[in-house]
A = this chain, B = another copy of it.
Amino acid sequence: MDSGNFIGLIIGRFQPFHNGHLEIFKTISKECDHIVIGIGSAGLSHTFENPFTAGERHLMISHALWEQGMDNFFIVPIVDINRYSVWVSHVESLVPPFQAVYSNNPLTRRLFQEKGYEVRASPLFNREMYSGTEVRRRMLEDEEWMSLVPGAVADIISEIDGVSRIRDLMRDLF
Chain A: residues with CB nearer than 8 A to chain B? 1, 42-47, 53-56, 58-59, 62-63, 71, 74-77, 79, 81-86, 88-90, 92-97, 104, 106-107, 109-111, 113, 121, 124, 152, 155-156, 159-160, 165, 168-174
Task: Chain B residues near A83: list those with CB within 8 A.
Answer: 43-44, 90, 93
**Beta-carbon contact of B46 and A111 below 8 Å:** yes
**Beta-carbon contact of A77 and B76 below 8 Å:** yes
Number of copies: 6
Interface centre among A63, A93, A170, A173 (most CB of B within 10 A): A93
Interface centre among A47, A62, A77, A109 (most CB of B within 10 A): A77
